[in-house]
Amino acid sequence: MSLIEVSHLRKEYPNVIPLRDVNAKVDEGEVISIIGPSGTGKSTFIRCLNRLETPTSGSILVDGVDMCDPNVDLPLMRQKMGMVFQNYALFNHKLVAENLMMAPMDLLGLSKQEAYERALNLLDQVGLRDKALSWPHELSGGQRQRVAIARGLAMDPKILLFDEPTSALDPQMVSEVLSVITGLAERGLTMLVVTHEMRFARDASTRVFYMDRGELWEAGPPEQIFEHPQRQETHDFIFRVRSWEWTIDSSTPDLPAMEASLAAYCQRQFMSRHATNACHHIVEEVALEQLVREARNRKMTNPDIRLTLSAGEGGVDTILLVDYRSMLPGGDPLQATDAKLSEAIISGLCKQVERNEPGVVRYHLK
């Protein structure tokens, strides 16, 4: 029997059905990443598992116990299943160690000294022993989230549930939290992680669940989901999250928003510094200096310049695609003399510049 067995799980609210008919099994020691578009029931699913939400129908067996049975011992079952949320939710008026001591003292009857030693041990596991006597507000977001993970481990659970544990963090803190989670995976803890960190999903999970429209649309090992998805919806989702897309539809575009979004994508994809700088340079030189300026000269109020960046890996090039076909009717702006000059510099940043089709350039980054 699997550690978790979900059959025909359904959750209805008056106006929406976040879970229609979910069926899933999770074996001991598995690390499941749950991915999918927004609003497709991922959080609802994970919250049903430990009964923070009451399912409308269906059954959830955890370690052989039916979580939907009205007589189930929920406190006991929740000890078996720790949970870590997006916003760490630590008690701010308690020291870091005290945050970890409460449950073991209340529920296991440990003495203060025993609970403190246990807390130090937990902090060790997330690399924060030296912060035991700090206040939560003295820690960085990433450190607070690591404390929240330690707290999730405080009752020695068999299963740890995560709902977007890194989505409230700055990019540089994401990797420290993910590496703690990866470390737990290596110790054989069973984990279900709702995440939008595709690299984590691919590298750290035994299986990936793709959820869409209230159903578990596709489940399989990361190679299947990321390289050979069986369903079109999975394929489209994976392509969308793998690439960065931006449309410049105004001759006075919101540059800080665009730059920030591009920077976040490059960071998330662990792109090299060189490729990241080259991307920013091309976007600034080509899209802004040449195309947007020309759009302004031509008094085009609504240009349609599309940028798509796909971070490559495993022998596949990182490609920045600039699609400015909408501007061709007034002549090709990138064929102007000063555009050609800046193209010469850009060529130096690229392995190859591909122009197979008028109005579309593919920059293969080094």
Among 24-32, 39-47, 130-138, 350-358, the segment contacting ligand ATP (CB under 6 A): 39-47
152: partner contacted, choices ligand ATP, Mg ion, none (Cβ within 5-8 A by kind): none
Out of 24, 33, 35, 42, name the contact with ligand ATP by CB under 6 A.
42
User: What's the min distance (Å) between Cβ of 198 and Mg ion?
Assistant: 16
Radius of gyration for the alpha carbons in the chain, expressed in angstroms and rounded: 25
Q: Residue 35: CB partners within 8 Å, gap ≥ 6? A: 42, 194, 195, 196, 198, 201, 208, 209, 210, 211, 225, 237, 241
Tell me the C-alpha distance between 348 and 121, whole Å: 53
Q: Closest CB to ligand ATP among 116 and 237?
A: 237
In the 8-state DSSP scheme, what is residue 72?
-
Q: Counting contacts by CB under 6 A, is residue 175 touching ligand ATP? A: no
Q: Closest CB to Mg ion among 43 and 310?
A: 43
Q: Counting contacts by CB under 6 A, is residue 18 touching ligand ATP? A: yes
Structure-block tokens of residue 132: 């035991």
User: What's the min distance (Å) between Cβ of 240 and Mg ion?
Assistant: 17
Tell me the C-alpha distance between 349 and 130, whole Å: 45
Out of 39, 171, 221, 330, name the contact with ligand ATP by CB under 6 A.
39
Out of 3, 4, 6, 43, name the contact with ligand ATP by CB under 6 A.
43
Interface with Mg ion in residues 37-66 (CB under 5 A): 43
Tell me the C-alpha distance between 21 and 212, whole Å: 11
Segment holding 190, helix H or strand E = strand 190-194
Q: Closest CB to ligand ATP among 41 and 104?
A: 41
User: What's the min distance (Å) between Cβ of 33 and ligand ATP?
Assistant: 13
Residue 353 main-chain phi, psi, to 5 deg:
-120, 120
Chain residues that interact with ligand ATP, rule: CB under 6 A: 13, 16, 18, 38-44
